[in-house]
Amino acid sequence: YSSAASDVYKRQVLERLAATPEGLAPAEAARRLRAHGPNALAAVRPIPAWRILLDQVESVVVLLLFAAMAAALLFGETIEAAAIGAVLALNTALGFFTELRARRAMEALLELDVPSARVRRDGEAREIDARELVPGDIVLLEEGDAIPADLRLLEAAELRVNEAALTGESLPVHKVAADGLDADEPLPERRNMGYKATAVAAGTAVAVVVATGMDTQVGRIGRLVGEISDEETPLERRLDALGRRLVWITLAVAGVVTGVGVLQGAELFRMVE
């Protein structure tokens, strides 16, 4: 089974991208490369593991528990100190590994660049560095190829694409060179599109590049990841404020009780404990 977009549809797509079925001329491809930049994903500055670990222990309540554990050790209460330490270790480990895995997964998304691509330029098929792809390039795909940019399919034969890296769909998706594309159609349902960082599981295709680099779908995800700011939620801010108030109230009450006990002749260390 093979499919090909109608001549009218193909002509409209190519005209919009100022392209031809024979591909771009080298001079025009070079001009577009200067205009659009390389077909590469911008690196997001990774957050070091030590910073993620430190974030887990910056809470006022956690710091108070550390102080309580230190006090318990000072007074020889090893069982109480061990219990508090176990709770702190479990809380810190769960938070650290959960956040670390989430951040590393997002950073790994930006490492899905494809090294090379087969294109048609001046009517000749050639293999080029995928960073040199530009909108309007005609790309040739076959089984086993990684899709190097976001593409609109012009011809397809038994084409199936593995889009798990982008959509999470575990099974290869059947693609066709169908006419038209609804702007509101969900990304996984766009059967006449191929996306950067996905792979051809079967079949062959001829497609035209519509977006490169950070303008691709995976690039937009990377841009969103890079714009994420570590802001506290309203609940976290309220809990932190409550924790601070409780710390001061607790210290004030403890100070009063300790002072009264000492005035009544009790041992200072016992009252502090």
pLDDT tens figures, 220-237: 877 776 665 566 668 777
pTM for this prediction: 0.64
Number of Cβ within 10 Å of residue 111's Cβ equals 10
pLDDT tens figures, 131-180: 999 999 999 999 999 999 999 999 999 999 998 878 878 889 999 888 77
**DSSP secondary structure, 150-169, as one string:** EEEEEEEEEEEEE-HHHH--
Nearest to 169 by CA among 144, 191, 188: 188
